[in-house]
Structure 1
Amino acid sequence: MNADKSLNLKNNDKNNINKLYFFGMLMWMIASIFYGLDYLQHTIPSVLIEPIAKQIGVSYIDVANIMSIYFPVYAISQIPAGYLIDRFGLKITLFAACLVVTIGLFMMLAPYLSAILIGRVFIGIGSAFAFIGALKTASIWLPENRFSLFLGITQMIGVIGGLLGQTLITYLIKIDGWQGAIHYIFIFGLTWSFIILFFLKNNKKVKVKLSENKKNQSIKFLIVLLKDKNIWLLALYAGIIVGTIMSTFAELYDIIFLTDSFNITKTDAAYISSFIFIGVGIGAPLHGILINYFKSQKTYLILNGFLALIVFACVPLSALLSLNTFLLPGIFFILGFFTVSMLITFSIAKSTHEEEHHGIIFAFINTIIGLSGFIFPILFGAIIKFILNHFQTNNQFIPTLFLLLIPIIAALLVATQIKIKNNIIS
């Protein structure tokens, strides 16, 4: 009789755990789809610059310059976003953020550059909450040993949003014009804002902790965070890897490098380039699984960083040796796969402090990544100009890409100094 009772209790406990896990996944999915919307809006400017310029009667360069205000606004909004998420919880902050992004998108319909500028500022501020909001949701609602996996799946959702975004916008423009396309996205964003408001829940455990602390607790913790050498090392590693390989090469110069180096069309170059992002999308969740087979997160991080370095070196080497372009999609895919392993820095950082501070920790790392994405492209462009002005070369990208290996090597040296708290895999 007692054995039957004990068995029933175990079954009930198992059912409760499964229900809680399912509920946590639902909470994370609500936040992650907002991140997908954020990634989708990254692709909008490339499609809308020309029609907006024609409507307003200005050059496409003027519109492009206005659109670019998004990036510095996004970077400097990260830490305030993390503070607000930690201070006020997920529901109200992500609702407001999604609504602000949606309003910013709608303002792109205005026939004035000033209104579009304000809209892009709104989008930059609201988007700052998307990724760290999704990570915070995963950190408080899902099991510790599943965080890396859902971190990767979150990134995959973002990549899917980016890959499909431009195709979707182009299709909607064909159906109902560019204004109609923005209307459709506005309706979706508005709908999702209220889904967040009505269905996303704050974890009561974290809410109680916040209510018992002083109002300036998160500000005090930010000071502690800025003195944390380990967090700085994690942020620098992630920032350098993303800033060099992704922000500089994959998002700016890869297509022009491919067309100049291999004498192929832009269409073929874009096809090859897409394999980096496919590698990122597939690699992100797989790293969350594979890391569980390693005793040390630090070893896993350094190993993947080293492999990313080797594969990235193959990019200019392939042009130098005039390799067959048939090999390039595979090289680009593997490069994206190993590069996205930098997401493990968020898992390591998460294990170093209590969960009520995770929002601001994620925000700090994302700030450094954002700033690196701003600095390295400028540095890369300056090196290209220097080479063109002082050396005679048929391809300025080959020596510049080889020089870009130096900061990646520096990032690996930085990673060797990272300390893991109890070597926890989470």
Structure 2
Amino acid sequence: MQPKPHDAIAPISRRDLIAWTCVSIAYAVAFLQRVCPQTIVDDLARDFGVGADGLGIIASAYFIGYMLMQFPAGVLVDTYGVRRLVIWSLAASSSGTLLFAAAPNVPIAFLARLIIACGDALIFTALIKLVAQQFRERQFGIMLGLSQLSGYAGGVLAATPLALTVAWIGWRASFAGIGVFCFFNLVLAASILPVRVSTAKPPVLSAILFSALAELKSRESWGCLLTFSSHFVAVTTISGVWGVPLLTDAYGLERHNATTALVLFMVGCMVGSVVFGHFVDRIQSLARAHILMCLLRSGCLALLIPTIGTAIGLEAVFGAFVILGLVAGGMTPMILKAVRNIYSVARLGTGAAINTTSAGLLTASLQPVLGYALSASWSGMQRNGVPVYSAAGYNAVVLILAFVSLLGIAGVLLMRRRI
């Protein structure tokens, strides 16, 4: 799929629109896979007989796989194009999901989530590249916002709808259905996405490593990496792993009420991605906007600390989830706009891959640490055979995430000359 000149882009055809929709749906399912563990955390703990440390290991599998494939994904999409990456992504996602649904123990569940993540890691990069090729530069922000909207829709499905489905047919049957859906989307993608004719040689490891080292010589690249990582680590951890357990354990909410907070977060993300995606191409000082968003994100996380949250009331806690969602949704097109400015359209895949690889590595590394912090404060209390962790443990978890979030300001200062 060759990029079209930005000053002479023909109107998007119906086939192009279907292609974009197909990849966006794949990204929605990938987002669901990323944030679904907290919805089924009790089921996994009960079926596999593990506590927070074991659940942290299962959760880390996704981020490890995501990290391992992010940089290769960027190089591959720049070399082979969107179509091949989407097909590879959906093949891995469908097979991994079916394996996860049948997993008899933690090691197989870990392997299955690793396979899913390796596939999902490709789809986000492919979607960014598709948007950059098919739309004018001044449309880049809004189309990224709409693309991200599909991801957050997947996040909404991973909350209450998935919880109700799991309660109805069980988590194994639910994920078997997701795997079958991914397979049918694979068939659609293979038939609708155009074939790219390329004479480029397959990338080799030495070329990949050389490219990464060359890009990381500039302070702007390091600043972009730090800004993206701080955002991804903080938001993905609270929305995808420990957010619902935080509300059920530390705040005493029923699971359906806790997942409602996650739905509000995802709705905020959806609104934020479109609104800020519209304005990101019109903001004069992108650096100043980045700093403001970092402060808002960190402040919202601070309000979720149980000691603070119980003092200010549940209404404020739910409000913090909504605002955190708005900020999280708005930050994505802003960060990717910075990636485009620093790396250019031609190297956009590589630039996105460097940032998402680093973010995935840090997120994966942090999950067992957070799980250990919770386990260390466990008093032995259980609910339906599942450990219930203390407010003190969650105080430590959310405080760590708020500190990581603040590191994004340092990243903005490093790249401010290019954004």
Q: Which TM bucket (shorter chain)?
A: 0.7 to 0.9
Query: Is it true that 1:282 corresponds to 2:271 in the alignment?
Result: yes
Q: 1:368 to 1:322 in 2, by over 3 A?
A: same
Query: Is it true that 1:87 corresponds to 2:79 in the alignment?
Result: yes
Q: 1:183 to 1:420 in 2, by over 3 A?
A: same
Q: 1:258 to 1:130 in 2, by over 3 A?
A: same
Q: In 1, distance between residues paired with 2:190 and 2:283?
A: 39
Query: Is it true that 1:337 corresponds to 2:326 in the alignment?
Result: yes
Shift of 1:247: 3.4
TM-score, L = length of structure 2: 0.79
Q: In 1, distance between residues paired with 2:266 and 2:140?
A: 22
> Which residue of structure 1 aligns with residue 342 of structure 2?
352
Unaligned runs of 5+ in 2: 1-7, 380-389
The AA in structure 1 aligned to 2:300 is V
RMSD: 3.8
Identity, % of aligned positions? 19
| Equivalent position to 1:364, from 354, 372, 380 | 354
Q: 1:190 to 1:270 in 2, by over 3 A?
A: closer
Q: 1:330 to 1:117 in 2, by over 3 A?
A: closer
> Which residue of structure 2 aligns with residue 145 of structure 1?
138
Q: In 2, distance between residues paired with 1:291 and 1:165?
A: 28
Query: Is it true that 1:104 corresponds to 2:96 in the alignment?
Result: yes
The AA in structure 2 aligned to 1:313 is A
SS at match of 1:355: coil
TM-score, L = length of structure 1: 0.78
Larger displacement relative to structure 2 (39-48 or 328-337): 39-48
Shift of 1:96: 1.7
Larger-Rg structure: 1
| Equivalent position to 1:302, from 272, 291, 294 | 291
| Equivalent position to 2:218, from 228, 240, 243 | 228
> Which residue of structure 2 aligns with residue 71 of structure 1?
63
Q: In 2, distance between residues paired with 1:214 and 1:338?
A: 39
Contact 1:105 1:119 in 2 (8 A): yes
Q: In 2, distance between residues paired with 1:46 and 1:404?
A: 17
1:228-307 mapped onto 2 (5 Å cutoff)? 228-244=218-234, 246-259=235-248, 262-307=251-296
Q: 1:287 to 1:23 in 2, by over 3 A?
A: farther
Unaligned runs of 5+ in 1: 1-15
> Which residue of structure 2 aligns with residue 10 of structure 1?
none
Q: 1:319 to 1:360 in 2, by over 3 A?
A: same
Contact 1:276 1:334 in 2 (8 A): yes
Q: Deviations over 1:354-375 (max 9, x none)?
A: 4232112111111122123224
Q: In 2, distance between residues paired with 1:59 and 1:47?
A: 17
Contact 1:248 1:380 in 2 (8 A): no
- More helix by percentage: 1
Q: In 2, distance between residues paired with 1:406 and 1:400?
A: 10
Contact 1:25 1:141 in 2 (8 A): no
Q: Deviations over 1:169-198 (max 9, x none)?
A: 556567766665444333321221122112
SS at match of 2:342: coil
Greater RCO (CA < 8 Å, at least 6 residues apart)? 2
Contact 2:93 2:179 in 1 (8 A): no
Q: 1:25 to 1:329 in 2, by over 3 A?
A: same
Q: In 1, distance between residues paired with 2:306 and 2:159?
A: 31
Q: 1:373 to 1:180 in 2, by over 3 A?
A: closer
The AA in structure 2 aligned to 1:34 is A
Q: 1:402 to 1:60 in 2, by over 3 A?
A: closer
- How many residues of Structure 1 are paired with residues of Structure 2 in the alignment? 396
1:305-320 mapped onto 2 (5 Å cutoff)? 305-316=294-305, 319=308
Q: 1:306 to 1:27 in 2, by over 3 A?
A: same
Contact 2:141 2:281 in 1 (8 A): no
1:107-146 mapped onto 2 (5 Å cutoff)? 107-110=99-102, 112-113=104-105, 116-146=109-139
